[in-house]
Amino acid sequence: MAADERGRAPVTASTVHLPVMPNEALSALQPHDGGCYLDGTLGGAGHTSLLLDASAPDGRVLAIDADPLALERARVLLPEAIAAGRLVLVHGNFARMGELASAANFAPVDGILLDLGLSSDQLADRERGFSFSHDAPLDMRFDTTRGASAADLVNTLPEAEMADLLWRYGEERRSRAIARRIGEARERQPITRTSELARLVAGVVHGRPGGIHPATRTFQALRIAVNDELASLEAALPAAVDLLRPGGRLAVISFHSLEDRIVKRFFQQEERGCVCPPELPECVCGRAPQLRIVTRHPLTASETETAANPRARSAKLRVAEKIETQIEAGN
Ligand SMILES: C[S@@+](CC[C@H](N)C(=O)[O-])C[C@H]1O[C@@H](n2cnc3c(N)ncnc32)[C@H](O)[C@@H]1O
């Protein structure tokens, strides 16, 4: 296979990513013929393909990804759906789904899916720097066209901020010691490769035999920071509610507690509506509930699925439905 000018193999339709909780995601979104859906995290196009199939022959899907390679792959994988006008691919951050959907003539929509984090294709791509198992440039950006890389953060963040980042996004107990070790190492020369960082961390964090790699939490924290993942999710949730038509559903699959907590609290808040302090005798904010929670407790993957796809082990699916806003009599 011929390489392009960057030395990369051309994108093919092959993806190693398996869509997580496919049946549960479909039951949540209830796609139907002629419906209009938004997949905010195209990835390997697994859920997008399922949505297209389940909404055939006339349903439409707008699929967004920050990663240009995911879009290139989907163009090769799903040319018929694109040619038929049933699939529209957009490069961008799902935090901006409102404007991206309006620009593509996709508002309002009947269902929205967010399947957070990174795809197995990104993890397996040795050039992207997401994995501590292969030596690669320390990059970790979903969107390779913009923004600071993991190497930029590792080489420029003050030590205290680095420690804070590792603690907040990785729940890494040795955050200060790791940040100190990074500070010492980068004084000698910039840290540019995943293997260097993994080695530095392993010198400070002593994993248990058979346990996770000592650099797991550091790599997770850096990836979350590089891609501003939690802020994107916080911006995306209200945008999703605005974009849904009444009765439409929002399904979010998260992979760690930081994400799941944001989704859970947002759903609870939007089901409650009112944001007045509890000590007020009556509501003065006038905010009406916007969502009905469909999954009181998050759904998790079956044993059969986790045996076939270990990545599904930590997945949590939460679903909510947009309700008709109550218009008070006399208004
Ligand atoms: C877990 S994968 C999605 C897999 C997909 N559901 C499938 O079945 O193949 C997550 C994808 O979302 C993308 N992504 C993550 N955060 C994003 C954001 N804020 N905006 C747009 N895309 C994002 C990543 O680049 C990655 O391709």
Q: What angle do CA 173, 213, 8 make, to 5 degrees?
A: 120
Across the chain, which has 331 residues, the per-10-residue mean pLDDT values are 46 78 97 98 97 98 97 96 98 98 96 96 91 93 96 97 97 95 96 96 85 91 98 98 98 96 97 91 92 97 94 96 68 39
Among 15, 29, 41, residue to substitute to test ligand 1 (most atoms within 8 Å of Cβ): 41
Whether residue 57 is preceded by a cis peptide bond, meaning omega within 30 degrees of 0, is yes
Assess if residue 237 is contained within a domain: yes
DSSP 313: G
Provide the pLDDT for residue 8. 52
**In a shared domain, residues 235 and 255:** yes
Residues 116 and 238 in one domain: yes
Indicate which residue's Cα is closest to atom 15 of ligand 1. Answer: 117
How much is the pLDDT for 210?
75
Q: Would you tell me the crossing angle of helices 46-54 and 22-29 to the nearest 10 degrees?
A: 50
Regarding whether 278 and 203 lie in a shared domain, the answer is no
| Distance of alpha carbon 137 from alpha carbon 195, whole angstroms | 9
pLDDT at 208: 78
The answer to whether residue 329 is domain-embedded is no
Look at residues 181, 207, 226 and tell me which one is the last residue of a structural domain.
226
User: Does any domain span residue 287?
Assistant: yes
Pocket of ligand 1 (CB under 6 A): 17, 19, 41, 43-47, 64-67, 70, 93-95, 115, 117-119, 142, 232
Q: What is the dihedral of CA 249, 252, 268, 301, to 10 degrees?
A: 110
Question: What was the pLDDT predicted at 5?
Answer: 45
Taking the model in full, what pTM does it have? Answer: 0.93
**Span between the terminal Cα atoms of the chain, in Å:** 66
- Domain presence at residue 137: no
Torsions phi, psi for 216 (to 5 deg): -55, -50
At 321, is the secondary structure helix, strand, or coil?
Answer: strand
Which ligand 1 atom lies nearest to the CA of residue 119? 2
Surface-to-core class of residue 282, CB atoms within 10 Å of its CB (0-12 exposed, 13-18 middle, 19+ buried): exposed
Out of 193, 226, 259, pick the residue that ends a domain: 226
CA distance 215 to 212: 8
Whether residue 236 sits in one domain with residue 278 = yes
Task: Evaluate whether 41 touches 254 at the Cβ level (below 8 Å).
Answer: no
| 308 belongs to a structural domain | yes
Q: Which CATH number belongs to the domain containing residue 103 in this structure?
A: 3.40.50.150
**Residue 139 domain-assigned?**
no
Q: In the listed set 226, 260, 280, which residue is the last one of a domain according to the structure?
A: 226
Number of domains in the chain: 2
Same domain, 115 and 236: yes
> Domain limits at 192?
144-226
